[in-house]
Structure 1
Amino acid sequence: MPDWIMIILRSLTLVAILFFMTKWLGAKQMSQLNVFEYISGIVLGGIVAIHTIDPNSNLIYGILAMVIWFLVPFTVEFLSLKSKSFRNFTEGKSTVFIQDGKIMEDNLKKEGYSTDDLLAKLRDNNVFLTSDVEFALLEPSGTLSVLPKKENRPLTAKDLGIKLAPEKEPQTVIMDGKVLLEPLANLNLNTNWLETELDKINVSIENVFLGQADTNGQLTVDLYDDKLAVPSPSELPLLLATMKKSQADLELFALATENENAKQMYEKNSKKMQQAIDMVSPYLS
C-alpha cells in the first residue's frame, strides 16, 4: 500500500479515536483544563501527529498510548468527583485577590499576578476602579470572579420592588426555513398557531431564517432578506392597553350617568377591572 494512502487511513483512524475520547471526557475537557487534562491534551495531540506522519510506526502502539493517556484524566476526574481533598490537589483552590475592598498583595504574589494582571482581569469584568470592588476571587480555571460594592451593582426589579412574571427560556421554532416540532411542543404550541402568527406579519415559513417564540406565545422572526421590515410582537401590549381603555371607559360612564344604580355598577366594575390590570400587568408589560 502506498505511503500516502497509509497516512490518510492513519489520520482518519486516529482523529476518530481522539474525537470519541474527547467526547467521553466531557465538555469540561474543552472549557476548564486542570493540570492532568492540559498535559494529556498535549500528549494525545503529539501521539496522533507522530503516528500519522510516520508510516513505519506501529499503529497499535499509538492507539495503546492514546488509551493510557485517555485513562489518566478520566481517572483523575472520577476521583476528583469522589474526594474534595483530591480535587483541591489536582485542580487547585480559589485565591482571594480583593477582600472587603482591599487588595491582598501576598495572594497576588503567591499566584504570580502583577498589579497590571489584576487590573486587566478586572477590566474583563467591566470594572475599572479597584475601589468599586467588594470581593474578587481567582478561580482554579484562571477566571476572576468579581463582586462589586452594593452601590456599584446594577439595579434589579427586586431592588425597585417590582414584581415580574416568571419566564422560561425561549424556544427556536423555525431554523433555516424549516419548522422545529419539538420546541413548539415544549411551549404547548402547534404548527397551526405558527402559521397563524406568520400570516399576521405576511411572512411564509420558507422566508424565515430564524424564528423564536417565548412562553407568552410571542413570535419574533429574522428573514433571509434583511431589507424587509418585520413588526415587533404587539399582542400583549395591545391587550394591556385595551384593558386600561375599558377601565377608563367605565369611569367615564359612571361620571356621565345620573342613574344611581348604574353609577354604582360602573364604579364597581371599574374597580374590578383595575384589580385585574394590576394582577396581569407584570405578565403583559
Structure 2
Amino acid sequence: MPDWFEIALRTLFAVVFLFLLTKLLGKRQVTQLSLFEYITGITIGNLAAFLSTDLDSHWSLGMIALGVWALFSLGIEFVQLKSKRARDFLDGKATVLIKDGQIQEANLKKERMTSDDLLEQLRKKDVFRMADVEFALMETSGDLNILLKKENQPLTASDLGITVGVEQVSQAVIMDGKIMDEPLAAIKQDRTWLEGELKKLNLTADQVYLGQVDTYGQLSVDLYNDQITLPESQQKAQLLAILKKCEANLEMFGLSTEHKKAKAMYQRCAKKLDKVITDVKPHLIQ
C-alpha cells in the first residue's frame, strides 16, 4: 500500500473516530472547557494527528489510546457529577473580584490579573465605570459575571408592578425555500395558514430563504432576491409595543414624582391606557 494512501486512510479513520468520541464526551468539549477538559482536548487531538502520520505503528494502537483517554474523561465527569469535592479539585472554584463595590486585590493577584485586565473584562460586559459594580465573579471557565448596583440596574416591568405576557420563542417555519411542518405545529398553525400569509406578501415559499413567526403571530421573511421590496408586516405588533411602553412610562413617572396631584394624574392615565390596551389587544395580535 502506498504511503500517501495509508496516510489518507489513517486520517479518515482518525477523523471519524474523533468525531464519535467528541459526540460521546458531550457538548462541553466544544464550548467552555474546564482545565481537565482542555488538557483532554489537546491530548486527543495530538493522538489523532500522530495516528494519521506515524506509519511505523499500527493504527489500532492509536485507536486504543484515544479510547482510553475518552473513557478516562467520561469517568472523571461521572466522579464530578457525584462529588462536590471532585468538582472543586478538578475545575476549581469561582473567584470574587469585586465585593460590595470594593475590588478584592488579593483575589486579583491569585488569578494573576491586573487592574487593566479587570477593566477590560468589565468593558466586555458594557460596564465602563467600576463604581457601578456591586459584585463581580470570575467563573471557573474564565468568564466574568457582574451584578450592577441597584441604582444602575435597568428598570424592568417587575419594578413597575406590571405583569407582562409570556414571550414565545420565534419559530423558523421556512428554511431554504422549504416549509417546516414541525415548527408550524408548535405554533398551532398549518401550511394553509402559512400560504395565506405568504399570499398577503405576494410570495411563494420557494422565494423565501428564511421565514420566522414571532410571539404575535407575525411572519417575517428574508428572501433570496434582496431586490424585492416587502410591505411592512409588523405594524400591529409595533403599535401594541408602543402602547405598552407608554403605559410603562406613565407608571414610572407616577413613581418618580413626589407631587401628589401629578402622581394621581399619572396613575389615572396609566389605568385608562391599560384598559385601552386590553380592549385593542385582540385586534393587534391577529
SS at match of 1:136: strand
Change in CA separation of 1:283 and 1:134 when aligned onto 2, cut-off 3 Å: farther
Q: CA deviation at 1:205?
A: 0.9
Are 1:192 and 2:189 counterparts?
A: no
- 2:63 corresponds to: 63
- 2:225 corresponds to: 225
SS at match of 1:98: strand
Using the TM superposition, name which of 44-53 and 157-166 deviates more.
157-166
- 1:43 corresponds to: 43
- 1:4 corresponds to: 4
- 1:127 corresponds to: 127
SS at match of 1:174: strand
Whole-angstrom CA distance in 2 between matches of 1:47 and 1:18: 10
Q: CA deviation at 1:41?
A: 1.1
How many pairs align? 252
- 1:165 corresponds to: 165
- 2:203 corresponds to: 203
Change in CA separation of 1:49 and 1:236 when aligned onto 2, cut-off 3 Å: same
- 2:100 corresponds to: 100
Give the TM-score, by structure 2 length.
Answer: 0.82
Are 1:149 and 2:149 counterparts?
A: yes
Using the TM superposition, name which of 135-144 and 106-115 deviates more.
106-115
Q: CA deviation at 1:233?
A: 2.4
Q: CA deviation at 1:231?
A: 2.5
SS at match of 1:166: coil
- The 4+ residue runs of structure 1 with deviation greater than 6 A are none
SS at match of 1:96: strand
Whole-angstrom CA distance in 2 between matches of 1:120 and 1:237: 38
Structure 2 counterpart of 1:233, which letter? S
Whole-angstrom CA distance in 1 between matches of 2:282 and 2:34: 45
In the alignment, structure 2 segments of 5+ residues that lack a partner are 241-273
Listed one character per residue, the Cα deviations across residues 99-137 of structure 1 (whole Å, up to 9, x for unaligned) are 110000001011111111111111110111110100000
Change in CA separation of 1:193 and 1:239 when aligned onto 2, cut-off 3 Å: farther
Change in CA separation of 1:54 and 1:136 when aligned onto 2, cut-off 3 Å: same
Are 1:14 and 2:14 counterparts?
A: yes
Q: CA deviation at 1:51?
A: 1.7
Are 1:53 and 2:57 counterparts?
A: no
Structure 2 counterpart of 1:43, which letter? T
SS at match of 2:174: strand
Preserved contact between residue 216 and residue 237 of structure 2 (Cα < 8 Å): no
Listed one character per residue, the Cα deviations across residues 15-54 of structure 1 (whole Å, up to 9, x for unaligned) are 1111111111111111121222111111111111112112
- 2:85 corresponds to: 85
Listed one character per residue, the Cα deviations across residues 72-98 of structure 1 (whole Å, up to 9, x for unaligned) are 221111111111111111111111000
Change in CA separation of 1:283 and 1:84 when aligned onto 2, cut-off 3 Å: farther
Q: CA deviation at 1:277?
A: 4.4
Give the TM-score, by structure 1 length.
Answer: 0.83
Preserved contact between residue 97 and residue 104 of structure 2 (Cα < 8 Å): yes
Whole-angstrom CA distance in 2 between matches of 1:95 and 1:279: 51
- 1:263 corresponds to: none
Change in CA separation of 1:200 and 1:67 when aligned onto 2, cut-off 3 Å: same
Whole-angstrom CA distance in 2 between matches of 1:110 and 1:279: 59
Q: CA deviation at 1:235?
A: 7.1
For the aligned residue pairs, the C-alpha RMSD in angstroms reads 2.2
Listed one character per residue, the Cα deviations across residues 141-179 of structure 1 (whole Å, up to 9, x for unaligned) are 000001111221222222233332212101000011110
Identical-pair percentage = 50
